[in-house]
A and B are shown apart, each in its own frame.
Chain A
Amino acid sequence: MKKFLKLPFADIVFALISFSAAITILTLVVATVVVLFKEASLAIDKFGFLKFIFTVEWNPVKEIFGAAASLYGTLITTFLALLIAVPVSIGIAIFLTEVAPPFLRTPIGIAIEMLAAIPSIIYGMWGLFTLAPIMADYIEPTLQKWFGDWPIVGKLFEGTPMGIDLLTASVILSIMITPFIASISRDAFKLTPDIVKESAYALGATKWEVIKDVVLPYSKLGVYGGIVLALGRALGETMAVAFVLGNKHQITFSLLDAAATITVTLANEFTEADTDLYLSSLFYLALILFLLSFSILAVAKFFLLRAEKHFQR
C-alpha cells in the first residue's frame, strides 16, 4: 500500500479506475447469484430443492411447479448433441492437423469457425423452416423403419414424426457446438511436439496409429476441456432449440416427442408469468441453470488450465 501511494498521481487515479472496472465482473457474478436467489426465494420456500427438481408437473393454473421435465429436456438434448458432436469434431480436428494438405488447413479451419459465429437465432430459424421438415419427412421415418421393431431402441423412435422434437433440437445443438470442440481440439493436437510424433513414425507406426497412440493421449486434457466447455454452452443454449422443441412439459422416452428445456421454458413463459409464484419458479429455474452451467464451465476451465501447465513443462 505504501509503495502504491508513492506512485505518481496519474497512476493512482488510473489504477483505481481500472481496478473498479476489473471488479465489475466480480460484482456482476455475485449480484447475479444473489438477485436470482432472492427472486426465487418464494418458490424455494414453497417447493424446496429436491421436491422442485423431482416434480414433473408444471401447471401454472394449479400453481404447481416442478423442474423435472425442463431439466430432463436440457440433459437429454445436451447429451445427444454431445454424442453426435464429439466424434465429428475430433474427426475435424484430426483432418485439420494431420490429413488436410497444408494450404487447405487455414481456410477450412476458418470456415468451421464461421459456424460458431452464426447467431443462434439463425440456427433456430433454419431449424424450424428447413431442418424440421427434412427430419419429419425423411430422416425420422427412416429411423422408424430401421429401428422401430427393435426391443428397446424402437421405443426411442415411437410416435408421429413431426420434426418438432428432441431429436431435431439435439441435431441443431450438435451443429452449433461442433466448432467449439473442433477448434479447441485442433489447438491441443497442434501442441504435440513433432519429435514425439517422428519417433513413433520411425518405429513404423502408421499415421492413424500416431494419432491414436501419440497425439490423442498427449492432448487429452485439452480435448476434455473443449468437450466440457461445449457441454456448458449446450446446456444454456436458448434460441437454437426454442423454435424446434415445442415447449411441452413432459418426460418422454421417445426422441420424436416435443419437450421443454430450462432455457425454452424461460424464453416462452417469462413474459407470460402472471402470478408471483409462477415468476419466482421461473427465476428458480434460471438460478439452477446458472449454477449448473457455471460449475460445468469451471470444470472445463480447470481442464484447460491443467493442459496449459502440462505443455509449459
Chain B
Amino acid sequence: MMDLAKRRKIKGSIALGLSTLAAVSGLFWLTFIIFDVLRHGLPALNLELFLEDPAPPGIPGGGLRNAFVGQLLITGVATLIGVPLGVLGGTFIAEYARGTKLAKVISILSDIMVSVPSIVVGTFIYAIMVKPVGHFSGWAGAMALAFIMIPVVLRTTEDMLKLVPWTLREAAFALGASYFRVIKDITYRAAATGILTGVILAIARVAGETAPLLFTSFNNSYFTLDMSEPMASLTVTIFNYAMGPYEDWHEKAWAAAFVITVGILFITLLTRSIIHWRYKD
C-alpha cells in the first residue's frame, strides 16, 4: 500500500517523463528528416546540376539549370510584387489607420490568409491568369506566390511598427514633422531590422511552396527566361521527378531537395538569430 504523497510524486514523474519523450520525438523527426535529405542529397550534388539543362527522360546526366533559374525568377518577381504591397499595407494599418475597425479587420483577415490552403491560391490564379490566355506562365506562378506573400509581410510589418514606441513619433511630431516624414524617417528606421527579417522569412516561406505553382507556372523541361511561358521551378521539379520512374530522376530530386532545405533552414536560422539578438526575446 503506497501512501498518497508517494503516488502523487510517481504520477508526476511519469507525466513529466512523457513530456520529455514528446520533445525527444520532435527532435528525432527533425534529425531524421534532415539526415535523410543530407544522406541522399549530398552524393547527388554536382556542378552539372546547376550548369546543365535536363537530359531527355530516362537518359542519365544533365542538370536542373532551368529549374534553378525558373525558381529564382518566379520568387524574385513574387518578391517585387508582394513585398511593397505587404509593407505598405502593414504601414497603413499600423500608422494611418491605427486602432480603427478597418485596421483590425484587415489584420485578422491577413492572419487567416497566411494559413489558407496554398493550392486554392493556385486554382484562383489559374482561373484569372491561365485560363483566359490558354497557357501556363511564369507570371502566373509569380502572382500566386505574391498572393501568399502579401499577408505574411503585411502582418510582420504591422507587428514591427507597433513595437516602435509611440513617444518616438510624438517627439518628431513636436518638431513639426508631417506624419509621412515621421513614418519615413523615424518608424521605418526604428523597425527596419524587424521588417527586413520578416521579408526574408516570407521569401523563404514562398520559395518552398509547390502547390500554388502546379497549375500556374507548371513546368518546362527547357531553359527559358521568358516569364510568359511555362516555367520550371525546383519544387515542382522535385514533385515530378520523385514521382517519376527513373532512379536518376530520384537522385536529382534529392539534390534539389537538399539545396532547398539547406537554403531555407539556413535563412530561417539566420533571421531568427537576428531577431533574437535585436529584440532580446
Contact = CB atoms under 8 A, between A and B. Distances in A.
Contacts of A89: 22
B127 A22 contact: no
Contact of A239 (B20, B23, B210): B210
Interface in A1-52: 7-8, 10-11, 13-15, 17-19, 21-26, 28-29, 31-32, 35-36, 38-39
A212 B108 CA distance: 31
B123 A270 contact: yes
Interface string B81-114: 0001111111111011100001101101111110
Contact of B84 (A14, A21, A29, A175): A21
A87 interface: yes
A140 to B, nearest CB: 18
A123 to B, nearest CB: 7
6 contacts: A36-B120, A106-B276, A125-B238, A236-B115, A267-B214, A283-B127
A29 B178 contact: no
B124 A36 contact: yes
A91 B112 contact: no
Contacts of B254: 125, 129
Contacts of A305: 108
B257 A209 contact: no
Given A22-B89, A112-B30, A121-B257, 4 more contacts: A18-B96, A19-B96, A28-B150, A239-B211
Given A14-B180, A129-B40, A25 B33 contact: no
A248 B19 CA distance: 37
B8 interface: yes
Nearest to A4: B96
Interface stretch (B47-55, B62-70, B221-229, B259-267): B259-267
Nearest to B22: A91
Contacts of B180: 8, 10-11, 13-14
Interface residues of B, number: 94
Contacts of A289: 117, 119-120
Interface of B: 8-9, 11-13, 15-16, 18-23, 25-27, 29-30, 32-33, 36-37, 40, 84-93, 95-97, 102-103, 105-106, 108-113, 115-124, 126-128, 147, 150-151, 154, 178-181, 183, 204, 207-211, 214-215, 218, 235, 238-239, 242-243, 250, 253-254, 257, 260-261, 264-265, 268-269, 272, 276
Contacts of B30: 111-112, 114-115
B89 A267 contact: no
B238 A118 contact: no
A110 B122 CA distance: 31
Nearest to A33: B124
Given A125-B257, A266-B119, A283-B127, A94 B211 contact: no
Interface in A92-116: 92, 94-96, 98-100, 106, 108, 110-115
A111 B21 contact: no
B86 to A, nearest CB: 8
A233 to B, nearest CB: 5
B9 A206 contact: yes
A contact residues, range: 35 or more
A179 B30 CA distance: 11
**Lowest 10 CB-CB distances: which A-B pairs, in order?**
A236-B117, A119-B208, A91-B22, A208-B12, A21-B88, A18-B92, A22-B89, A95-B23, A238-B211, A21-B89
Contact of A108 (B23, B96, B109): B23
A43 B150 CA distance: 31
Contacts of B268: 114, 117
Name the residue among A18, A243, A301 with the largest chain B CB count within 10 angstroms: A18
Given A92-B26, A242-B239, A290 B117 contact: yes
A196 interface: no
B42 to A, nearest CB: 15
A35 B150 contact: no
B92 A11 contact: no
**Chain A at the B interface: SS class:** helix
A9 B182 CA distance: 14
A233 B84 contact: no
Contact of B27 (A17, A111, A209): A111
Name the residue among A32, A120, A178 with the largest chain B CB count within 10 angstroms: A32
A96 B23 CA distance: 8
B264 to A, nearest CB: 6
Contacts of A111: 26-27, 30
A7 B182 CA distance: 13
A114 B242 CA distance: 23
Given A10-B178, A91-B22, A112-B26, A119 B106 contact: no
Contacts of B11: 206, 208
A18 B89 contact: yes
Interface in A169-198: 175, 178-179, 182
Contact of B127 (A10, A39, A129, A237): A39
Given A121-B257, A239-B239, A32 B88 contact: no
A28 B113 contact: yes
Given A18-B89, A21-B88, A22-B92, A118 B117 contact: no
